[in-house]
Structure 1
Amino acid sequence: MGREFVEIFDEWVHTYDESVNGNDEEYRDVFLKYNEILQAVAEAAIGPVIEFGVGTGNLAEKLLEQGFQVVGIEPNQAMRQVTAQKMPNLTVIDGDFLEFETPISAQSFVSSYAFHHLTDAEKARAFQIYAEKLPSGGKVIFADTVFDTEQSKQEMIAFEQARGHFNLVEDLNREYYTTIPKLKELIIKAGFTVNLSKMNNYVFLIEATKI
């Protein structure tokens, strides 16, 4: 993930689970159906699995429940510590979407609520890396915020501004939320087929399969 955002998660680490469980009104729509979204990622994966941005371990937990061998990649030290306490048997190593070790022969790369930390150019480079590391039929399954168009993104920002959700508006303006056409283009160019399924008003399940 974009390393410029790593320190933000020093603040999020203590409140993240509360937010994703719907206890933060400002982010409630973003995390609507959170557990269903994570379950959809886990059910779409094939193992072994590498997870980017493992955070507090919520997706990793569901992947382990599915019986997968899992390695977590997490650039934030505080998040790694939280996950180590929750799941001491899970291997979590320092890394990000672009620079990471592959201690297992992954069949899937997965992530939730993190790919937007990369610019479109970085997203394109990431999928080129995944294409090199995955076998034919290997999968990338990301759940992340994507907008239909740039106009719809600006309309959502205006909507949240009117609701007084100023922290969310700051996030939407600061980070690199892309559009469906741009995302599909870069994924296909890297040698994948791709399908997007809308999970809530913000989040899509992005399922890409290497040709």
Structure 2
Amino acid sequence: MGTDFTGLFNEWAQTYDQTVTGGDIQYKEVFRFYDEILNEVVQHSKGNVVEFGVGTGNLSKRLLESGLSVTGIEPSIKMREKAAEKLPALTLLTGDFLSFPPLQNDVDSIVSTYAFHHLTDEEKGTAFHLYKELLSKNGRIVFADTTFETEEKKQQMIQIAEDKGYNRLAEDLRSEFYTTLPTLSQIAEDAGFCISFKPLNQFVWLFVAEKLNK
């Protein structure tokens, strides 16, 4: 990927679970309804699942509990260690959205939460084309991530964060590759997917991209 975030996530591994449960006031709204967001992704997943950006294994755990077969892919060694502690039976590979080892099974669902924004829009397009080839017939992508309806809405949210003194959040929104719904729609269409969106909190949207078999 264009930017290497593994150092950040190695540092964050110890406190990640506290952050997602509201322990960091600056990110409390980003992770509001966290449990429900994970459940939404699980509900739309099927068959053999590949999860990118496993983190500490919170989504993986729910996918496994729902009876799905899961292969997790995570670039951060510290995050992988945390996930392995929680889920010793999880198949866990080193890799990221664009670079990962060969997969042993057919892939019916590709899932992720709070991670796809680490790719530039160009890289997101590359990923969608890659996943089109990887997915089985009628396969799908199920992602939940911070996304904005328009670029203007993104700038408004940055301003709100600054006005509250949430400088870390504001810099995060400025510096990482948070995209817009129209851009994601075009990326999905160009790669041969039909995509739908659902808002899950004021930052996070669920997007489900169904592979078109032409």
Whether the 8 Å contact between 1:48 and 1:105 is mirrored in structure 2 is yes
Paired residue for 2:134?
Answer: 133
- For residue 143 of structure 1, give the secondary structure of its aligned residue in structure 2: strand
Paired residue for 1:206?
Answer: 207
Paired residue for 2:37?
Answer: 37
Whether the 8 Å contact between 1:146 and 1:177 is mirrored in structure 2 is yes
- For residue 165 of structure 2, give the secondary structure of its aligned residue in structure 1: coil
- For residue 56 of structure 1, give the secondary structure of its aligned residue in structure 2: coil
User: Residues 72 and 2 of structure 1: is their aligned pair in 2 closer, same or farther, counting only changes over 3 Å?
Assistant: farther
Partners of 2:27 and 2:209 lie apart in 1 by 27
1:103 offset after TM fit, Å? 2.5
Structure 1 unmatched ranges of 5 or more: none
1:10 offset after TM fit, Å? 1.6
Query: Where do 4+ consecutive residues of structure 1 move more than 6 Å?
Result: none
Identity %: 48
- For residue 182 of structure 1, give the secondary structure of its aligned residue in structure 2: helix
One-letter code of the match for 1:39? N
Q: What is the root-mean-square deviation in Å for CA atoms of aligned residues?
A: 1.0
One-letter code of the match for 1:23? G
Paired residue for 1:67?
Answer: 67
Which TM-score applies when normalising by structure 1?
0.98
Which TM-score applies when normalising by structure 2?
0.96
Partners of 1:23 and 1:30 lie apart in 2 by 12
Partners of 2:160 and 2:93 lie apart in 1 by 38
One-letter code of the match for 2:67? G
Q: Deviations 1:102-132 (Å, cap 9, x if unpaired)?
A: 2321100000000000000000000000001
1:188 offset after TM fit, Å? 1.1
1:164 matched to 2:192: no
Paired residue for 1:86?
Answer: 86
Partners of 2:7 and 2:47 lie apart in 1 by 31
Paired residue for 1:148?
Answer: 149
Q: Deviations 1:127-169 (Å, cap 9, x if unpaired)?
A: 0000011122101000001101111101100100110111111
One-letter code of the match for 2:28? R
Paired residue for 1:104?
Answer: 105
Partners of 2:116 and 2:138 lie apart in 1 by 21
Partners of 1:69 and 1:77 lie apart in 2 by 22
1:6 offset after TM fit, Å? 1.4
Structure 2 unmatched ranges of 5 or more: none
1:2 offset after TM fit, Å? 5.3
Q: Deviations 1:32-65 (Å, cap 9, x if unpaired)?
A: 0000000000110011100000000000001001
Aligned length: 211
Whether the 8 Å contact between 1:2 and 1:96 is mirrored in structure 2 is no
- For residue 154 of structure 1, give the secondary structure of its aligned residue in structure 2: helix
1:50 matched to 2:50: yes
Partners of 1:2 and 1:195 lie apart in 2 by 27
Whether the 8 Å contact between 2:106 and 2:136 is mirrored in structure 1 is no
